[in-house]
A and B are shown apart, each in its own frame.
Chain A
Amino acid sequence: MSIPTISSLSSKKHSLITSAESMVHEGKQNTDEYRALLKTIDETQSHLEGLERVERWERSLPNPVQAAPVTNVPTIIRTTAEQEGVQRRDKRSRLNAALRHAIQYGMSHTNETRDLSTISDSSGAALFGQAFEDQDEWTRALANVAPLTQKIHVKFSPDGSNRKFVTSDQTQQFMLTLGETTATDAADSTPTIHSNITGNLAPIVGRTTVSFQTLADVDDLVGYLRDGFAVQAARAQELAILKGVDHAGTALVSSPVGGLLAAPQWEQRWQR
């Protein structure tokens, strides 16, 4: 048995009405057959109206979720290195722009402060060291100028506080066999620990006068300052490591006297 639809019930209704009209023309409107036909027409009409109400209700429901069409659109995925490169270039560009603005108009007129520190000292100075707080920048700047500074054990201290080094000379420590029947303990030794830097970190400072014209003509202002001043800083650091002094020969407060070259037990003399 097929399920009645609006279309099939409409056809049935029209067919029944046609039959009823024929019976009227034939003068059979007072017969039981004609009355049964009218009853069937009413039932069909009722059935038809019921289906139409269901259909209107269905149309009022929200549309069901459709599956997304499958397409072959390629997705561009940047590698981490590419993203870092873009970010680094963006940062450098912003920093250069901010620096130029600060140099021309002063820090008080600088809108961009994300890469600039607005800390000022009593003379109105403005720091912009953030770019150089990236250890990579610093290391790259020093690598070719003073490779010695890359060879020692370096710890960075963003806040200027001291750091502790813990190391021991394990070439002077030994391990011994433990006999199967011996009652003697294995040799026990405690290595000498070298760790502390005493005192506060010594500040080393240099100052240079740069003309507006020079600063305005430099393509990469941050790179110019970094590469230029890195030579000064690298030489100062080298001197501090090897001799423990600044350029004037003044001993640094937080370094061993005489620096790396001074310890007499390290000297190696040769017979000639």
Chain B
Amino acid sequence: MATVNQISAVDIANLGSSVDYSYFLEGDYVASQAVYSYLASQLTSIGTYLYPRDANGNLIVNGKTLIVASNAAMAGMSASVGTPLMIFGSLKRAWGETITPFRLQILEPSPETLTNQVVASFRIGQVGLIANAVKALVQ
């Protein structure tokens, strides 16, 4: 039995099963780096790591590669009740994004400081698509 602000393997498996199975097959888990660190340190009863890793070092949870987002974008383990700690599902069916090419802009050289100002920018617009395709694990 998991306690508040702990994520068990059963929680992760249930989250995976909460979406349509067709979405499960093409689905991905997403969590913050803090949650990733928590999961990566989980041990089995005989002291081995609970979650395996693939050849590139990615953590495998419930048979899926865990996508790690920044701590700014997703909550850590001390998140308040009701805040999603992990999401799972078919992200491409759930979310659409229109994005312009990444632009780098360099200002004219500054002789006083021997520097250049480099400006990076892009434009983005988003839309939620199929709501059932992704679900979130909340405490």
Contacts and interface: CB of A to CB of B under 8 A. Distances in A.
A225 B118 contact: yes
Given A240-B126, A256-B126, A266 B135 contact: yes
Contact of A163 (B1, B70, B98): B98
Interface in A218-272: 225-226, 229-230, 232-233, 235-244, 247, 252, 254-256, 259-261, 263, 265-270, 272
B23 to A, nearest CB: 7
Contacts, number: 264
Interface stretch (A13-21, A57-65, A140-148): A140-148
Interface in B88-139: 91-109, 113-138
Interface residues of A, number: 94
Contacts of A199: 125
Contact of B130 (A167, A236, A237): A167
Interface residues of B, number: 68
B4 A266 contact: no
30 contacts: A126-B106, A138-B101, A147-B68, A148-B67, A148-B91, A151-B92, A152-B95, A153-B93, A153-B97, A156-B99, A165-B96, A169-B130, A169-B132, A197-B98, A197-B125, A202-B123, A202-B125, A204-B122, A206-B119, A210-B117, A211-B115, A212-B115, A230-B102, A232-B120, A239-B73, A240-B124, A244-B126, A256-B128, A261-B84, A268-B136
A78 interface: no
A215 interface: yes
B30 interface: yes
Interface of A: 99, 102-107, 121, 123-129, 132-133, 135, 138, 141, 146-148, 151-160, 162-163, 165, 167-169, 171-172, 194-213, 215, 225-226, 229-230, 232-233, 235-244, 247, 252, 254-256, 259-261, 263, 265-270, 272
